A and B are shown apart, each in its own frame.
Chain A
Amino acid sequence: MKPRFTTALLLLPAAAWFVAMLVLPLIVVFVFSFGERGPAGGYVPAFSFDNFLNLGARWTAFKNTMVLAPIGTIACLFIAYPLAYFLAIRASAKWRTMLLILVIVPFWTSILIRSYAWIFLLGGKGLPSLIAALGLGHIQLINTPFAVLVGIVYGYLPLMVFPIYVSLERLDKRLLEAASDLGAPPLNTFLTVTLPLSMPGVATGCMLVFILLMGEFLIPAMLGGGKVFFVGNALVDLFVQSRNWAFGSAVAVALVLVMLVTVTAYMRFTRRWSGGRDDISLM
């Protein structure tokens, strides 16, 4: 029984960390979501569904998230797919690793600084002044849904490219040769061979980007200027400004529930062509 004891000992710190920092805090949020706001903010124990019935007060935040997260995901997909295709099928083997690293690296650098770069570019003295100088009139870019969308694509593109690249790279290249030898036009080969076989990667990439977008705070905060806000921004507002922990907890619970439902539905829907493979590494 000695190996078992060693195993338990090795797992103990991780298990304790998960319980103390993940399980218990999430239970606290769940319990608090049925409570009431204290007179000076914070939380007073209670059991009511008022917080959940009141969720409509933050409807705009939920609506924005549920509209912009899918649009952002699809925008990422359309920009990422051709690049992943280029890297996996067209790029020379010599440069492939280097080019791939160049795509992944930005994902692991500060999203704060990278969004800040777009404040700089889309702000009044950046691109809009350039456009005005070209005589194309004055346009507002920063603090619009467009700016938030640019930030989203900029932030999450690498996360979409990588899984698509992996599934295209695994694809048996002889299939493509066979298709062209048999006289299929390139577009037909793409639509009937390449695209269906890369669907697992597409499904994984979309799910990863979508999940992260649902909880996004920084990009709308930096590029939406309070006009385009997500559930994450509503949460910061509830916990930091109005200190309404009970209602804030209910919004957090609702966010996680919406995520769970959409992701489960999405996985059900995509399982057919992803073949159940959902493991993916980001390195």
Chain B
Amino acid sequence: MRLYALAVYLFLYVPIGIIVLFSFNAGKAASQLQGLSVQWYGKALSNTFVVEAFQTSLTVALTSSILATVFGTMAALALQGVKGKTRALFDAMIYIAVMVPGIVIGIATLIAMVTLFDLLNPLLKTLFAHAENAPQLGLGYGSLIAAHGLFSMSLVIIIVRARIAGMDRSLIEASADLGATPFGTFRQVTLPQIFPGILAGFLLAFTFSFDDFIIAFFVAGSNTTLPIYVFSSIRRGVTPEINAIGSMVLAVSLCLLITAQSILRRGATKS
């Protein structure tokens, strides 16, 4: 039994380990280890395409996860007092947003936005007829943030809601009985209790957006995110530079995940 578990853990971690190991390859050949060096990290970080893609990914992940966390938490808080049709409608939305494949979400967002922009852009042109450059709408940061935010927000609602469900209600009642204003109760009682959930939701949302390929592939327009860059590089062949970029991407999500996990576990044992 133990041996079996060990084998599964090896299966899960050896491939990742090999990527990391080969990212320190001193040689040029992708599959032959010739001493250790960090030269490929240097190469990757001085590649302007990589740096730009990294900045795009970071901006999109940060913005979409912050918006998703704020709006998702607001919705989760409000939904605890809502029943009937509104509640069912929201549950259905969250369910659909999580279950519909990312590829369908990507396609739907692409064609809906491009159709909308084709309608609005001539209008903008006439409105700004005298301006030097009429503003034109197009796919880019906005569409990336909005599309990632959809999944992220659903994720945050699910996590924060679970947290609210496990919360000690008597404290809220006590606070209200002692004359605290609703906002005061929220700030001093509810928020500290659900904060681990909010933070974990934010970290997961960030990780999702930072790692997503398929939605970004459709809605990024002329922008390149890091996963899009990696995907198109792999098509051109396996290089130690991709190993280095991959290792860095893995390191970012691993750090965030371990933080999220420990926050959630600690919060869970406390309550």
Contacts and interface: CB of A to CB of B under 8 A. Distances in A.
Interface of A: 3, 6-8, 10-11, 13-15, 17-18, 20-26, 28-29, 32, 43, 79, 82-83, 85-87, 90-91, 97, 99, 101-106, 108-114, 116-121, 123, 125-126, 154, 157-158, 211-212, 214-218, 222, 232, 235-236, 239, 245, 248-249, 252, 255-256, 259, 281, 283
For chain B, the bracket of interface size reads 35 or more
B15 A26 contact: no
Contact of A21 (B78, B149, B204, B238): B149
15 contacts: A7-B82, A10-B75, A11-B79, A17-B146, A103-B12, A106-B12, A108-B253, A109-B207, A109-B211, A109-B257, A113-B249, A116-B242, A120-B19, A154-B11, A218-B213
B109 A101 contact: no
Contacts of B265: 97, 101
A3 B186 CA distance: 14
Contacts, number: 230
Contact of A281 (B8, B162, B249): B162
Contacts of A245: 111
Contact of A86 (B4, B105, B200): B4
A215 B231 contact: no
B77 interface: yes
Interface string B28-46: 0011100000000000000
A58 B39 CA distance: 45
A245 B109 CA distance: 12
List of 5 A-B pairs having minimum Cβ-Cβ separation, nearest first: A215-B101, A25-B108, A117-B15, A10-B78, A14-B75
Interface in B77-112: 77-79, 81-82, 86, 90, 93, 96-97, 99-105, 107-112
Most chain A CB within a 10 A radius of its CB, from B108, B211, B250, B258:
B108
Interface of B is mostly: helix
Given A18-B97, A108-B257, 18 more contacts: A10-B77, A17-B150, A18-B90, A21-B109, A28-B108, A28-B112, A29-B104, A103-B12, A110-B227, A117-B15, A117-B16, A117-B19, A125-B30, A125-B32, A215-B100, A248-B107, A252-B103, A252-B107
B62 interface: no
Given A24-B112, A102-B9, A7 B78 contact: yes
A109 B254 contact: yes
B246 interface: yes
Contacts of A252: 103-104, 107-108
Contact of B238 (A123, A154, A212): A123
Interface string B59-73: 000000000001110
Contact of B213 (A7, A13, A112, A283): A112
Contacts of A259: 99, 101
Given A22-B97, A232-B103, A283 B111 contact: no
A215 B102 contact: yes
A105 B254 contact: yes
A90 B1 contact: yes
A20 B113 CA distance: 10
Contacts of B249: 109-110, 113
